[in-house]
Structure formats: structure tokens, C-alpha cells
Structure 1
Amino acid sequence: MTRPKLCITGYPPVIAIGKEIAKEFKGVADFLYVNSLLEEALPYLREVEGVADIVLAGPSTRRMYADMLSIPVVSFRPTFPDLIRAVQEARKVDGRIALCLSRDDMDFDLPLLSQVMNVSLFPYYCDTGKEYEGACLSAQEKGFRVVIGGSFTVQVAERIGLQGILLYKGKDMIRTAVRHAIEICQIQREGIRRVSQLTAVVNNFTEGLLLTDETGRVILDNPPARQDLGMEKLQGKKLNQVLGSQLCWDVLKHGNRALNVVEKGNLVVNYIPVRSPEGVHGLVCILRKADEIQDAEFTVRKELHRQGFTAKYTLDDIVGESEAIRSCKAMALRFARTSDPVLITGESGTGKELFAHCLHGLSPRQKGPFVAINCATLPSELLESELFGYEKGAFTGAHTAGKKGLIELAHKGTLFLDEITSLNYSLQAKLLRLLSEREILKLGSDRIIPVDIRIVAATNDDIETFVRERRFREDLYYRLNVFRLHLPPLRERPEDLVPLFLHFIRAYRRDMVAPLSKRKHLIRQILLKQPLQGNVREMENIVKRFCLLYEPAEENDAETLKTLLETCFGKERMVEKDEDHPADLRTLLRETERFLLKSLAKQFRNKGEIARMLGVDRSSLWRKFKKYGIES
């Protein structure tokens, strides 16, 4: 760190003392000297103005240039001991003594000093060279023989025949001034460092920033603020003129923050008072363009999207070759282009959630979050807090920081409400308001939050019956039923049975696809005899069981394949749809158990492994093997 540079200005007697004092501060400060003072010193001080950090001068020189120079000026003022020493020396000449002092030195108790020293002191208070010359001439006219003063006074007095006594002979006076000057330099450098840090923060602040004084005048700004306001210069302007609002006066007067205030149509401004125990000293104003806030919010939504609120399926993931499923895909493609609600209906397992994912992925909202919830999985009270969110302390057990609801998290995206008919009437009313007003109210809050979401709802119930029976609001039904997508069950699209079966085979045991593809006709015949009440979901579960039991060695045995597949449906032999006498349930269960155990015994030679898979102990498994005559 560079040492402070101090400039001492004065006539030779003062300069000589200054050089002696400078030796005491070697390594602490560097010194410059100007052999001049008062009016004649100005050109020399201008030269050192860009070199020195501070100027040390007599009181009158300080008063003359303190407001003219860009660097501080510190005076070496005489002390009372300096004055006593000078009076002692002067009274050797005469008991009547003239004093030429700066107006900064009017606080000396001269009557007391006169009484103690048994002298008569007559003060002249001056600041300019002309005034000091006039004082010396006046003293001469009044019969004074001796004058006490600074270097300039002593020089003038001796020129007109008076005895001049130098007031500044003590080292303490200049030593104290040097220490004071070094402290000022340190404070000044610390201030410069802090201002530089503050300026760096302000200039690198991505948002517009304005700092005002207590009068509302801008004293600091940054490039984003100038750009947002379209002004090249802001400092010195009144804040109400800059923002076109009188709100700043209220904040300055009362000291209360005003947040998220829209100014000039597209600027969101936070007014923050700068406070201390003494009061309000100014304002910090943070400016952001409304579209930048929306972009930032969108970035947050994208992060939520990345964390899991994302659509996972596309139309390519929906397997089917039937005209019915192709029609559903085409309709979904058309519905995706709008932001109006879509109501998806169909039996359980027909793929309603998959189509909801597709609607989002094909829509203009695809970069926004996809938030899904099954309305039947939570109690009504908990479901409301999950959907709408809550403020801290909204209810017993609420999170201390509050919580955003799924509706708010779905902003700029899609909210999928599965099993919509399970909502109670109270929640239906709130959902209706959301659809009509596009705004929500958190639990425990009095602040309305606008949201921009698209709602996709689904149900496997006959929603029209629910409306007729007044279990579902008619007005909400019409709000949701803008676009209707009905998904047919598997029994109405037999062309899709084999493709779906092989699709799940490929997902769980790819090695089985090739041999089973040769048996499509047989597989189709078996699947056509099944009601498949669970639709695609039931089909997937059947394939999982089939993949566990199937052995490639049996690929050419049509009867074994048929028996195994029928067993996976829950019985060894299929019951024809027109059969009048179904098999005894106990017999069917026994035969199914025998077949499964026999298949597992062929596939796994270790009884312990089979027992673990079935969740039974080894002794129970051994008894079952013995019962059915299965060799292990």
C-alpha cells in the first residue's frame, strides 16, 4: 500500500520545523514542501494538487483554499503553550503586545492570559495578506513596538520597523497536524476503497439501482438504471422527476418500504428507505423491467420442470394400430394447439395420463412445467393445501416458511387433475374460480396471485351422471368440457391387442420378441377371449407374469404357450364367453398353483430362491411340491 503524501506550505521557519517533524514519520508518510502562503501560494498548490493527498498550512491559508482545492487542507493551529512562549519572548521587548491571529484562533482566552502574564494584549483577527499588512500598520500607529504572528506577519512587521515574534516555533503544533493529516488520509483511503467497492457492486448489479439523499435527489446510479429509464445522466435529478411518481416522498417521510410498484407502465420498482436511529437519510430504488421478471420467473419454472414437473410421454409412446387410437391421437394433436381445458374420459387403464402428457408436450406450453395430481389420493383438506398452497401459520402443522401450491408451480404450464370427480363441492367451487378468474388465494393469505395455466382433467366415471345427481357442479363441468377426448377400452380396439402385448414383452424381456412374433395369431385368439377390464394396465401386469414364467425352450410348443398365457390370466384353461358352466373356482386356483410351481421348479433349481420369490418358508414350499408331485 502506498504511503500518503503530505504537502507542508509556509515560509522558511515553518518549513524548517516541518522537515524536522518529517524525520519522525519516515516510512509512514512522504512529504512535499511549498515555500509560500496566503494568496501567493495558489499556483504552487495547484501544481501539487494532483500529487499530494493533503495540504498542511496555517489557519488563514487553510480558510483561503479549503473550498478551492480538490484535496483536503489541514491547518497547524497554535496551541496555548505556543502563545505563552511567544508572549514571554515579546514582553522582553515591551509589555504592550499586538497579536495577529487567524479568525480560526478566536477561542483563546486573551484577557486571562494578559492578567496572568502581566501584559497588555491587543488582538487583530485576519485571513488575507492585505488584512495582516493592515494590522501591522495599525499596531505601528498605536505605538506597539512588538507583534506576535505567523511567518507572513513577522516578515511585514520587520519590514516596517517593528519587532516580530514567530508564533509557530513549537514542534507539537506541526506534529499534531501531521498526525491528524495521516489519519484523514487513512480515513479517506478507506472511504475511497469502500466507495470503489460500492461502485463496483452498483455497476455490476444486473438490476437498475438508484441511491438518493434525504431530499430525494439521485446521488448514485448504474448503467442498467440509465438504460431502463432511457436517460444518459441521472445524478442530481429528483427521483419523482425520474420515475414520474410522488411515492418517493411518502417513503422518505414515513420510512416504510414500498415494494413491487409499477412505474412508467413497464418498470417494477422497490422503494427501500436508508434508515438510522436519527431518521431516514435517503432511498435505495431497485428497478426491473416487467418482462425481465417474467423471464426470470420462467427460468425458475424451467428449473422446477427439470426437477420432475415435466411431461414424460409423447404420441409415439402410445401403442396402437386401430382406427380408434389413431383418431384419438389426431384429436389430441388438434387440442394441444389451444390453451382451453380438455376433459379426458375413459375406463381405468386406457391411457388418460399418457394423453395428458402428450397434450402438454405438443402445446405452446411445452417448455413450462407439467404438474399432475390424482385428486382421489388425498383427503379434501390436504388436497386443498397441496393445490393452492398456504402461508406460514395458516394451520396447525403448516410449514413455517409456507408452501407454494401445485397450481402456482404449474404457472405457464399444464395442470393435470386425474379423477376430477372425486373433488368435493368446496374444491370444485375454488377450481371454478381459478378457471374463470385465472387467480388463486393461498390458505391463510389475503393476497391474490394471478396464474397462467392450462387445465387437463380426467375421469373414469360417467361424469354426466355425476352432474345429474348433483355430485359434480354443472358450471364446472361446462368449463372443463370445452374439448372432450374419449379413450376407447381395449375390447373396442382388438387390432391393438397383439401390438400392445409385444410392446410390453419388448420392455421386460427383449429376447422373447422374436419367437413370440411368430405366434401372433395364437396370442390374438387368446387375448380376444379376455375381457381385460383393466385395459392396458391389466395387459402390462399379465405380460410381467408371462415374462417371469416363459422359457424359450418351449417356443415351438403351441399348447404350452397357450396354457401358460391362459394361466397368466388367472386360470389354466380359458372359459369361453358363451360357456354356461364355468369351472369350479377352487379347482381353478389349485390348478393354477400347480402350474406356477411346476414352471418355477423348471426355471429355478434352488428351492430357497423359489421360496424367497413366493414369500413362503422352505418347509411350506416342500409340502406344496409333494402335494402336486413336483420333482425338485
Structure 2
Amino acid sequence: MFIAPYKKMGELFSEICQEINKKIIIKIGDLEEGVRQAVELEKQGVIDVIISRGGTAIAIKKEILDIPVVEVQVSAFDLIRALHQARKETNKVAIVGFYPFTYGIKGLEEIMNLNIKILTLKENWYIRPFYIKEKLKEIEKQGYNWVVGDNISVETAESLGMNTVLVESGKEALMQSILEAERVAEVRKRELEKTKRIKSIIDFAYEGIITVDPKGVIDTFNPRAVKIFEREAYRIVGKNINEIFPEFSFPKIIKIGRKIEGKIWTVGDIKIVANIIPIKINNEIVRTVITFQKVSQVQKIEQKIREKLYLRGNIAENTFNDIVGQSNIIRKLKKEAKNYAQVDSPILIYGETGTGKELFAQAIHNYSPRKNKPFVAFNCAALPETLLESELFGYVRGAFTGAKKEGKVGLFEQAHEGTIFLDEIGEISKNIQARLLRVLQEHKVRRLGDDRVIPVNVRVITSTNKKLIKLVKEKKFRDDLYYRINVLNLIIPPLRERKEDTSLLVNFFIKKYGYK
């Protein structure tokens, strides 16, 4: 859009647009009228850039902040043409206009053989023309009766009876303003696209995002932050973060002046884990970005990742319906096991080899609240102590010779939120017993070669075909571990003690394996 301060400029601009085949809205209006036209079209949303000149351009810039204004620059050719016209009548000329119109003109005195007086108008004078009148009166008293200037200067001078020459913009200046407006429009388009992309990222981010200016005033509070803290953005934005979230200790964050990761805060009854990123320009913090999630949400995500990575193959396939038997002892055991399934206490299952200890462990898991979580079964007698330790607890890169470069997740981590079944628990060494006891006590594991502990939430079921109490008395099994794993227990009888189930089992296996 082009707003011409006077009609002749508008006509010339229209002529140029036809020559270069450009469709640009053209309006005629000086100062307040020009501003009114610009505001009206801004409301309609049909303009990207405004082109205007002199005081009208200045007035529009002050009123319209969201649309760039390209000012038609007065070229040397335009000014020389106006001075040449005035020189025909006088050698004493006052050049009047807004900055930068009047900048660098004094050097033309010698070239044009003129006595030039320069009057630079202040920006706010376009709404106070009486100031311009007063200044022109002063100039007139000094013997300057001819005024060369822009539209407002010329109109004001003429109202005082002074002689005037309007500096008219030629084709060169107008063409240059069109090229500049196109460049500005393209830059603005890219910036708007960038802003929209950033806004979309902020608005649809999975994390809460707060941005804070150097004074501690919150200027961004995205929808996720609204959801986490259950506070509307309009009540937060514009307020000081120390007032809204004193728990953040923002002055300390600014003082640290560097990125902080994994910071845990409690705001009311909400626990969040946050990253704080200071944005610096020339080593000065211009913004601080805080991204955060609820701790509970992080835990849920972690669990989903664990399930996706490790649940495959870690599934309990059997239920209590798969335990064949109608004898009183089996019915009693199944009833007892179902009751055990509803609590998280460790279970020790005793039975001879082949009595179905893992079958009961799987059935308990599938009857428990953890049924949709991993079931990890492991035979403790299957590996030597060195390998058993790394299998159960995992290891980090470089923990020992032959370790995988990426390290390994232990079985306890794989069973997080689910059940771990340790068969033949009586076979583990005292060293492994000590580590296992610590996991049961603290609900945390430490990978081999690591100095960090990882929280785990695991239901532990163990089994053995040995008399553990005897091993305790012989000092081969720790008594504290024995009492930890033997909170609840099941003793599964061999088939010889429940012979009435034999025929049921025979029929079951015939159907299973297809014998006739």
C-alpha cells in the first residue's frame, strides 16, 4: 500500500506501477488523513507493507506498530531539482523537513551557489503545526522568504505568505521504495512464518514452557504449562515469576547464568522436573527458558519406553486356569495364591523339580494388578556368578572386558512395574545374595561399573527345591535375605501326594500333544 501526501505523487506512483506491472493500493492523504487510511486498511488485513513519505510516514509509524513502513527517501536529484527552481527567484533558501530529509544538505550551498538555512522538524511536530509556524516565522525574520520542503512544511509556509517549492519525489525514489517494500515484505513473510512455527512448537510441545525476561517477568506460558499447573495463561503472563512461582528461586538461577538440567521442584503438591536454559547475546542474558514436565508423567513415559523395549518375550502366558487339578490341596493352593496375587509382598515358592513352580508364578502375576506389565523369569543356576550379577543388575559401557559397548539393562530394570521370578534362588552366592538384599530393601539397582542408582518397582517371586532354612542354619544362605523373600510362601506338592489329579493331567497332555 502506498499513501501519497499529495495527489501528484500518487499519480506518479500509479504510473510507475503500470510500467512495472505491479498492483499496489494507492491512497492520497497527508499526516492525520494518511494515518486514518492506513489504520482502516490495517483492520481489513489487506496490507503487508506501507509506503509513504516525510511526516506522513513518521505519523503512520507511530500509530501502526505491527506493519512495517517504508519511507520514500528524498534523493539528491529531487532536492537539486527543487533548489534549482528556487534559485531562479532567490539565492537565500530555507530547507525545512523531518530527519533524514534535512541530513547532509549543507554541502549543497557551494555547489548550488545558495545561502541555505536548514530547519529539521521534530517528529512530534506533525500533530503540533503551530511549532512549525513559530520556527518558520523566526526564519522569515532572518531574511529567508523562500521555503523548500515537504508537504507539511510547504503548506505551513504558504499559510504565512512565504514563497515555497515542494520537493517532489521523482521516479527514481519511488521505484527504489517499491523495491525496498518488496524486500521488507518478503523478510516479514519469512519472519511471520518463523514466528508461527515457533508458536506452534511452543503451543503443541509435550513439555510445559515458560519464558522470562531479564526483569523476571513471564512472557510465555504455553498450553501444557496451563494444564500442568492448572492456571490460566492470562493470569500468569506479565507477572513476575518470583511472585507466581517463588519455588523456582529465579534470582539464584540468573546468578548461576548457565544451563541447568534435571532440576526437580515442588510447586504446591505438583512435582516437576525442569531444564533451565539462559539465552545470551553478547554474554548478557536476554531471556530464560524453562521447560518442564510432571515427574509422574516422566515416570509414565519411562515405563512405556521400558515396556516397548523389553516387554517382548517377558510375558506370563499361564493363568490359574492352566493349573490342572481338582484335589483339595491344589484347590487350596490356587485360592491361597490368588489372595497373594493381590498384595506386593515377596513370595517364596517351594517344590520339587517339575511340580510347576513357574506355572504358579505366572498365574499369580496374571491375577495381580501388575498383569499388563513385564514378567521376567530367570534361572539363577543357569550362569556363573560373574555373569549372573551382570544379568540381574546390568552394566555400563566398559564395566568389564567383553562388555557390550552400549552397556546392558539388567533384569530388575526390565521387570520395572511388573514381576521378576527368580528360580532356584538357593543356588546364588553370598555376594549375589547381598546385592539382591539391597535391591529388596532400597528398591534401587546399581549397574556394574556405574555410580548411579536406578529406582525400580518390582514384585519379587522366588522359588527353590532346596530347604532354604537348612541352608540358613549352615550359613550358606543369608538369614536376612531368607526372611525378606519368605514373607509369603507356597509349598507345591509333587504328583505322588495328589494322585487324584493324575487322570486329569493325563487327559490334559493327550489333548495338548495330540496323542490318540
Distance 1:284 1:237 in 2: 16
Name the residue aligned to 1:32. Answer: 26
**Quick one: structure 1 residues 104 and 156, their matched pair in 2 at CA, closer, same or farther if it must change by over 3 Å?**
same
Distance 1:433 1:21 in 2: 86
Distance 1:422 1:215 in 2: 64
Q: Secondary structure at the match of 2:247?
A: coil
Name the residue aligned to 2:133. Answer: 133
Distance 1:61 1:192 in 2: 26
Distance 1:80 1:60 in 2: 19
Name the residue aligned to 2:18. Answer: 23
**Quick one: structure 1 residues 403 and 238, their matched pair in 2 at CA, closer, same or farther if it must change by over 3 Å?**
farther
**Quick one: structure 1 residues 436 and 74, their matched pair in 2 at CA, closer, same or farther if it must change by over 3 Å?**
same
Name the residue aligned to 1:581. Answer: none
Name the residue aligned to 2:317. Answer: 312
2:256 matches 1:259: no
Distance 2:332 2:211 in 1: 63
Name the residue aligned to 1:152. Answer: 152
Q: Tell me if structure 1 keeps the 8 A contact 2:357–2:463.
A: yes
- 1:365 is aligned, of 364, 370, 395, to 370
Deviations 1:95-118 (A, max 9, x none): 2211102133454151x3323333
Deviations 1:550-601 (A, max 9, x none): xxxxxxxxxxxxxxxxxxxxxxxxxxxxxxxxxxxxxxxxxxxxxxxxxxxx
Name the residue aligned to 2:432. Answer: 427
Task: Note the 1:466-477 alignment, pairs <5 A.
Answer: 466-477=471-482
Q: Secondary structure at the match of 1:67?
A: helix
Distance 1:489 1:59 in 2: 104
Q: Secondary structure at the match of 1:197?
A: helix
- Structure 1 unaligned blocks of 5 or more: 1-5, 513-632
Task: Note the 1:107-256 alignment, pairs <5 A.
Answer: 107-108=103-104, 110=106, 112-126=107-121, 127=123, 128=126, 129-232=129-232, 233=234, 234-253=236-255, 254-256=257-259
2:55 matches 1:54: no
Task: Note the 1:134-533 alignment, pairs <5 A.
Answer: 134-232=134-232, 233=234, 234-253=236-255, 254-264=257-267, 265-273=269-277, 275=279, 278-279=282-283, 280-300=285-305, 303=308, 307-510=312-515, 512=516
Q: Quick one: which amino acid aligns to residue 245 of structure 1? A: E
Q: Secondary structure at the match of 1:97?
A: strand
**Quick one: structure 1 residues 116 and 138, their matched pair in 2 at CA, closer, same or farther if it must change by over 3 Å?**
same
Q: Quick one: which amino acid aligns to residue 92 of structure 2? A: R
**Quick one: structure 1 residues 260 and 404, their matched pair in 2 at CA, closer, same or farther if it must change by over 3 Å?**
farther
2:37 matches 1:44: yes
Distance 1:389 1:278 in 2: 46
Percent of residue pairs identical: 33
Deviations 1:30-85 (A, max 9, x none): 2221x222245333333223243332222333333423224332221223343333
Deviation at 1:455, TM superposition (A): 0.6
2:74 matches 1:78: yes
| More displaced stretch, 405-414 vs 263-272 | 263-272
Distance 2:388 2:289 in 1: 42
Q: Quick one: which amino acid aligns to residue 178 of structure 1? A: I
Aligned pairs, how many?
Answer: 503
Distance 2:402 2:218 in 1: 47
Deviation at 1:90, TM superposition (A): 2.5
- 1:98 is aligned, of 94, 97, 105, to 94
**Quick one: structure 1 residues 114 and 47, their matched pair in 2 at CA, closer, same or farther if it must change by over 3 Å?**
same
Q: Quick one: which amino acid aligns to residue 484 of structure 1? A: N
Deviation at 1:250, TM superposition (A): 4.4
Q: Secondary structure at the match of 1:231?
A: coil
- 1:9 is aligned, of 4, 7, 21, to 4
Deviations 1:593-624 (A, max 9, x none): xxxxxxxxxxxxxxxxxxxxxxxxxxxxxxxx
User: What is the TM-score normalised by the length of structure 1?
Assistant: 0.73
Q: Tell me if structure 1 keeps the 8 A contact 2:3–2:29.
A: no
Task: Note the 1:560-579 alignment, pairs <5 A.
Answer: none
Distance 2:406 2:252 in 1: 30
User: What is the TM-score normalised by the length of structure 2?
Assistant: 0.88
Q: Tell me if structure 2 keeps the 8 A contact 1:344–1:459.
A: yes
Distance 2:334 2:401 in 1: 46
Distance 1:382 1:133 in 2: 97
**Quick one: structure 1 residues 262 and 309, their matched pair in 2 at CA, closer, same or farther if it must change by over 3 Å?**
farther
Distance 1:420 1:247 in 2: 50
Q: Tell me if structure 2 keeps the 8 A contact 1:244–1:263.
A: no
Name the residue aligned to 1:89. Answer: 85
Q: Quick one: which amino acid aligns to residue 308 of structure 1? A: G
More RCO (CA 8 Å, sep 6+): 2
Distance 2:243 2:449 in 1: 39
Distance 1:302 1:11 in 2: 74
Deviation at 1:272, TM superposition (A): 3.7
Deviation at 1:248, TM superposition (A): 4.2
Distance 1:181 1:123 in 2: 29
Deviation at 1:159, TM superposition (A): 4.4
Q: Quick one: which amino acid aligns to residue 391 of structure 1? A: V
Distance 2:451 2:72 in 1: 65
Distance 1:144 1:22 in 2: 38
| More displaced stretch, 204-213 vs 308-317 | 204-213
Q: Quick one: which amino acid aligns to residue 50 of structure 1? A: K
**Quick one: structure 1 residues 456 and 207, their matched pair in 2 at CA, closer, same or farther if it must change by over 3 Å?**
same
Q: Secondary structure at the match of 1:203?
A: helix
| More displaced stretch, 194-203 vs 272-281 | 272-281
Q: Quick one: which amino acid aligns to residue 359 of structure 1? A: I
Q: Secondary structure at the match of 1:30?
A: coil
Q: Tell me if structure 1 keeps the 8 A contact 2:380–2:388.
A: yes
Deviation at 1:169, TM superposition (A): 3.0
Deviations 1:336-381 (A, max 9, x none): 2221111111221111111111121122222222111111222323
**Quick one: structure 1 residues 207 and 165, their matched pair in 2 at CA, closer, same or farther if it must change by over 3 Å?**
same
**Bigger Rg, which one:** 1
Q: Tell me if structure 1 keeps the 8 A contact 2:275–2:291.
A: yes
Name the residue aligned to 1:532. Answer: none
Q: Tell me if structure 1 keeps the 8 A contact 2:75–2:169.
A: no
Deviation at 1:289, TM superposition (A): 3.1
Cα RMSD for the two superposed structures: 2.7
| More displaced stretch, 41-50 vs 94-103 | 41-50
Distance 1:499 1:456 in 2: 27
Q: Tell me if structure 1 keeps the 8 A contact 2:30–2:56.
A: yes
Q: Tell me if structure 1 keeps the 8 A contact 2:74–2:169.
A: no
Deviation at 1:331, TM superposition (A): 2.4
Q: Quick one: which amino acid aligns to residue 275 of structure 2? A: Y
- Structure 2 unaligned blocks of 5 or more: none
**Quick one: structure 1 residues 104 and 372, their matched pair in 2 at CA, closer, same or farther if it must change by over 3 Å?**
same
Distance 2:54 2:450 in 1: 66
Q: Quick one: which amino acid aligns to residue 24 of structure 2? A: D
Distance 1:240 1:429 in 2: 48
Q: Quick one: which amino acid aligns to residue 46 of structure 1? A: V
Deviations 1:424-483 (A, max 9, x none): 222211111111111222233333322221110111222223222222211111111111
Q: Secondary structure at the match of 1:14?
A: helix
| More displaced stretch, 376-385 vs 18-27 | 18-27
